[in-house]
Amino acid sequence: MDKHRLEALTDGIFAFAMTLLVLGIEVPDETTAAFASPTPVQDLLSSLTPDFTHYFVAFIILAAFWILHHSFTERIRSVDRKMLWLNITGLLFVALIPFSTDLADSYVGYPISAMVFELNVFLVGALFFLQWSYASKGRRFISPETTDAEISYLNRAIGTMPAISLAAMCVAAAGIGWSAMLFWLVPFFYLLPAQRK
């Protein structure tokens, strides 16, 4: 099965999810308390800090996942039905990221809302890991030009997000409110290009 239709579907879902994230930043109308203060715009922007924080975190996560997906699909020659369903299941949870982001933002301070977001991210990462593991096992679907170093790099890179998500869930379960801040580690692991030998 040709991989290009899978890539097109993936690009569309990621673009849709990344665009929907901004809808979680809700600008209050002029009847809110912020507009009664001497500095209404400053107070309004200050009140939106959690919204912007969750937006940036979620956008960076989705960008990292998209870059990672591009990195491993460019090394894949073709896909079969099992791999197609692994990808579609992963996209199911990608499309949920705007919802879980909004939930975490709307209920700041509630560990369960943070854990739902972190579980969502974990499931995307785990399914991408399964997809790459299935494709690369015995070099089943990957191109012959792919080196062992590239395979090792992608194994580490894909495994990083589920690990960060599990750590964040443990932090949230302990009642610590900054669990989502662990995702600021993502650029150091995901946004760096894979090394070609």
How far apart are the C-alpha atoms of 167 and 102, rounded to whole Å?
21
Can you give the pLDDT at residue 191? Answer: 53
Domain contains 13: yes
Domain contains 107: yes
Domain contains 196: no
Per-residue confidence of the chain (197 residues) as pLDDT tens digits? 678 888 999 999 999 999 999 988 877 666 555 555 666 677 777 777 888 888 999 999 999 999 999 999 999 988 999 999 999 999 999 999 999 999 998 888 888 999 999 999 999 999 999 999 999 998 888 988 988 999 988 998 899 999 999 999 999 888 877 777 788 787 776 555 544 43
Count of alpha carbons within 13 angstroms of residue 86, beta-carbon side: 17
Can you give the pLDDT at residue 176? Answer: 76
Can you give the pLDDT at residue 56? Answer: 92
Q: Which two tokens stand for residue 16?
A: 């849709």
Domain extent at residue 154: 4-190
Domain contains 195: no
How far apart are the C-alpha atoms of 142 and 160, rounded to whole Å?
21
How far apart are the C-alpha atoms of 5 and 191, rounded to whole Å?
24
